[in-house]
Structure 1
Amino acid sequence: STRQILPFGRELQNVMEPSISAGAAGFIGVLRDYPGDSNQYYVPYDAIERPIPGVWISGGDGNRLRALLSGAPLRVKVSIDSVREMITAHNIVGELPGADEEVVIIGSHHDGPWASAVEDGSGIALVLAQAAYWSQVPQAERPHRLLFLLNAGHMAGGAGQRTFVEEHAAELESVVLEFHLEHAANELSDETGVLRATGLPESRWWFTSLIPRLQDAVRSAIEAEDLQRSMVVPPTMFGPKPTTDGADFYMAGVPLVNYLTAPFYLFDAVDTLDKIHRPSLVPVTHAAIRIVESTMGVSASGMRAG
């Protein structure tokens, strides 16, 4: 068993909405019980402009604010320097021909809120590892045409993935599998008073469509590579639309496997290179290869049929 602090609450992106609905002039969010006592938390990231200013403060500062509020009435000034502008971002796509013209998409996103080594430098590395491996495999031994996708705008409401799905809607029926690879993270703990790695990987989630042959392939790959602390879970575990980067593919009816870990610091500036769980990179890569190989001889319609 493992205890895990998730990087989001049940509100997901809607952290400010209750305050807005109540008529608040501003939002001050307290990151109570947040390891490391940080205030650098990049949520929401849905690219929606709110009508009031908002700011996060650390749990320690929140305790001081509560103490002040318990006394005389308090006047608070919220001053925020931020920039919102329209930009053009680009999805990055590469292809390898395969044994047939149906498609396996292997993807992740290439943007993040900070330096964001785990979210999602590690995902980029995992996708590039797949491209490097499959480029050395003869075309006839690649189960299908392979499309490698690094989409933009994940931290702007998933704009890149959504646009890709919309623009290629007519082609999605020929997609056998969309395999997303995100976040190879170290587990961190502050039980000693100092934030440090435990030496373990953060719990691994394999969001997998409820297709028996696909679930079996994922479980077999996990066992073969001894990827402990893994959970095979339905994409809709947190709601009808997945909270992962592969969500729009799933909503379009494409069979999905979305590997990720969800450390508490996923949207925090503390996500630097030392947070990547490097021992995970090779076995997760091998497991992904096994899952892609399992689609050999399985058509897009056959996969959907189970």
Structure 2
Amino acid sequence: MDRTTDLPADGQRRPAPGVPDSDQIFSWVRDLTAFSARGTQTLDDHRSVDYLCTRLRGFGLTDVQVQETESFHWHASRSALSVDGTFIPHAPVAFSLDAGNGPFDGGNGNGPFSTGPDGLTASFVDVGEGQEDDFAEADIDGKIVMFNLRFVLPRRALLDAGEFVHDPHETITPADLDTANPYLTNFEDVVEQAIAQGAAGFVAVLADYFDSHDIRTEYKPDITIPGLWVTKTAGARIRTLAKKGQPTATLRLEGERTATPARTVIGILPGCSSDTIMIQSHHDSAWEGGVEDASGTAEVLALAAYYSSLAREQRPKTLMFVLMDSHWTGYQAHRQFVETFITAPGLARRIVANVTLEHIAKQAEVGPDGQLLVFDRPEYRGIFENVSPPLKTAIDHAVAEHGLERTIRLNADELAPLLGELPTDAEFVFEAGIPTISLISGPLYLYDKADTLDKVYKPDLGPVARAFVDIVDHLAATPSELIGS
């Protein structure tokens, strides 16, 4: 495996003139984080859409539009948890106790949801790791089930799969490699088993997490029973209570699911060809979302600002800048975009490549006392790609030339089947057959309230933009039929 690529002979990294620097890009990140919790059906989602349209038009893009498609908003208005009368700190599991039968993926609909005026009171059963043997030994019918939520994709797995790793200062240490990101977990398997065996509700212990229960993961369909998150410390407290006998728990969850449109902001810069390079991120967030994904959105703005400063004849291909939401509610915006701009017959504009930018993050670990430790260095990040060998080389050179340390290039065609999907915002475009180059990192706090402005790794904002100018320039100069792998 190549570990790095040499810098130019003079040792200097050459920024493309006119590319916004880290300070400018960070100002856009800061603006976006002021629109906190930019999910569908929120005032701040509307504000962020308006902000992005204004920015793109301010750069000189004349073809700026907003595509809407049906999505929803899930909101918990009240929750509670007690075990044998002892109050337990917690947070609602988003999308649990989904209501009704409607048009959305998973067969869920709209309306209020509730465990009733007195909540759900039932016997409490601990199934530990939630393995088949754990369920086989437990009678959970009509009971509230507790299990350990585990993160199952450690950094080590991605590092081992890398075709190219840029770590010139040898900062990768064995102590870092066992930390797993919160994207892939055992959640769906365990909850599906609990529902199948008649559980009335569940409590998920964040066993691999820092001392927080403020996590909001991506949309999971078919969670027909109520669920709550608790910290590892709270889970240990519940287990201490359980040692005194068969405990009784009361779980309460109330809220509403509401139909609402998802909004995709699209800006187009015509080039010398109608063949189009799509540059993408998502603008919504569960919380303040400094890393997820104000940072990725600001990188897309940076590329739009740069390329709009060029004359049309300096753009060999058309560029389309795409900022989606519904990242948290089932990706309806992403699916609609693909149907409209990729799979629809007879399109005058043909998307020939996708570039996706997400999560310019500081590295984080769980400290010895369970606290979140954040380091002033970049989180490990991957570039998933399925492009031709010359473009792979161009990626490697851009990463090295602009100093994107701790970056791993990964073969998307090989890894997506193993992971079950491409674990980035580009998944639906990738599945539609578009050659993709997708930058992403998965810091531990990615889905947490702790994802605030200070978690963004500001020194890399400008270098990421400059590296991807180089990459986009190579895509634009490559004959379209030679882009894919």
Tell me the TM-score range normalised by the shorter chain. Answer: over 0.9
Residue by residue over 1:194-244, the C-alpha shift from the partner in whole angstroms, topping out at 9 and shown as x without a partner, is: 434211111111011153233222111111112110011133355242121
Give the counterpart letter for 1:114 in structure 2. Answer: W
- Is the contact made by 1:13 and 1:45 (CA closer than 8 Å) also made in structure 2? no
Structure 2 partner of 1:28: 203
* Residues 67-76 or 146-155, more deviating: 67-76
1:191 aligned to which of 367, 370, 376: 367
2:212 is equivalent to residue 38 of structure 1: yes
Give the whole-Å Cα distance in 1 for the aligned partners of 2:439 and 2:329.
21
Structure 1 partner of 2:386: 209
Structure 1 partner of 2:230: 57
* Residues 265-274 or 74-83, more deviating: 74-83
Relative distance call for 1:207 and 1:60 in structure 2 (3 A) is: same
2:473 is equivalent to residue 298 of structure 1: no
RMSD: 2.0
Q: CA deviation at 1:73?
A: 0.1
Residue by residue over 1:125-151, the C-alpha shift from the partner in whole angstroms, topping out at 9 and shown as x without a partner, is: 000000001011221222310000001
Structure 1 partner of 2:83: none
Structure 2 partner of 1:182: 358
Give the counterpart letter for 1:222 in structure 2. Answer: V
Aligned to 1:184, the other structure's residue is in SS state coil
Larger Rg: 2
Q: How many residues align?
A: 303
* Residues 185-194 or 220-229, more deviating: 185-194
Residue pairs, 1:134-283, within 5 angstroms:
134-168=307-341, 169-170=343-344, 171=347, 174-191=350-367, 193=369, 194-209=371-386, 211-235=388-412, 236-237=415-416, 239-283=419-463
Give the counterpart letter for 1:183 in structure 2. Answer: H
Give the whole-Å Cα distance in 1 for the aligned partners of 2:408 and 2:357.
15
Give the whole-Å Cα distance in 2 for the aligned partners of 1:247 and 1:150.
14
Aligned to 1:287, the other structure's residue is in SS state helix
Give the whole-Å Cα distance in 2 for the aligned partners of 1:82 and 1:120.
26
2:196 is equivalent to residue 16 of structure 1: no
Give the whole-Å Cα distance in 2 for the aligned partners of 1:265 and 1:118.
9
Relative distance call for 1:20 and 1:210 in structure 2 (3 A) is: farther
- Is the contact made by 1:117 and 1:275 (CA closer than 8 Å) also made in structure 2? yes
Aligned to 1:88, the other structure's residue is in SS state strand
Aligned to 1:9, the other structure's residue is in SS state strand
- Is the contact made by 2:285 and 2:293 (CA closer than 8 Å) also made in structure 1? yes
Relative distance call for 1:198 and 1:277 in structure 2 (3 A) is: same
Give the counterpart letter for 1:303 in structure 2. Answer: I
Give the whole-Å Cα distance in 2 for the aligned partners of 1:222 and 1:301.
24
Give the counterpart letter for 2:308 in structure 1. Answer: S
Aligned to 1:81, the other structure's residue is in SS state strand
- Is the contact made by 1:176 and 1:299 (CA closer than 8 Å) also made in structure 2? no
Q: CA deviation at 1:270?
A: 0.8
Q: CA deviation at 1:297?
A: 3.2
Q: CA deviation at 1:9?
A: 3.4
Structure 1 partner of 2:108: none
Structure 1 partner of 2:254: 81
Greater per-residue strand proportion: 2
Give the whole-Å Cα distance in 2 for the aligned partners of 1:165 and 1:11.
29
Give the whole-Å Cα distance in 1 for the aligned partners of 2:464 and 2:361.
12
Give the whole-Å Cα distance in 2 for the aligned partners of 1:130 and 1:9.
30
* Residues 256-265 or 291-300, more deviating: 291-300
Give the whole-Å Cα distance in 1 for the aligned partners of 2:459 and 2:382.
17
Q: CA deviation at 1:173?
A: 8.8
Give the whole-Å Cα distance in 1 for the aligned partners of 2:290 and 2:225.
31
Aligned to 1:294, the other structure's residue is in SS state helix
2:295 is equivalent to residue 118 of structure 1: no
Give the whole-Å Cα distance in 1 for the aligned partners of 2:247 and 2:200.
14
- Is the contact made by 2:276 and 2:349 (CA closer than 8 Å) also made in structure 1? no
**Deviating 4+ runs (over 6 angstroms):** none
Residue by residue over 1:38-69, the C-alpha shift from the partner in whole angstroms, topping out at 9 and shown as x without a partner, is: 111112424x2521001111111011112222
Give the counterpart letter for 1:176 in structure 2. Answer: V
Residue by residue over 1:157-196, the C-alpha shift from the partner in whole angstroms, topping out at 9 and shown as x without a partner, is: 1111111001221349932210011111111234364434
Aligned to 2:376, the other structure's residue is in SS state strand
* Structure 2, unpaired ranges of 5+: 1-171
Give the whole-Å Cα distance in 1 for the aligned partners of 2:454 and 2:351.
36
Relative distance call for 1:13 and 1:122 in structure 2 (3 A) is: farther
Relative distance call for 1:259 and 1:8 in structure 2 (3 A) is: same
- Is the contact made by 1:143 and 1:295 (CA closer than 8 Å) also made in structure 2? no
Q: CA deviation at 1:83?
A: 2.5
Q: CA deviation at 1:70?
A: 2.6
Give the whole-Å Cα distance in 2 for the aligned partners of 1:15 and 1:108.
31
TM-score w.r.t. structure 1 length? 0.92
Give the whole-Å Cα distance in 1 for the aligned partners of 2:230 and 2:202.
10
Q: CA deviation at 1:254?
A: 0.2
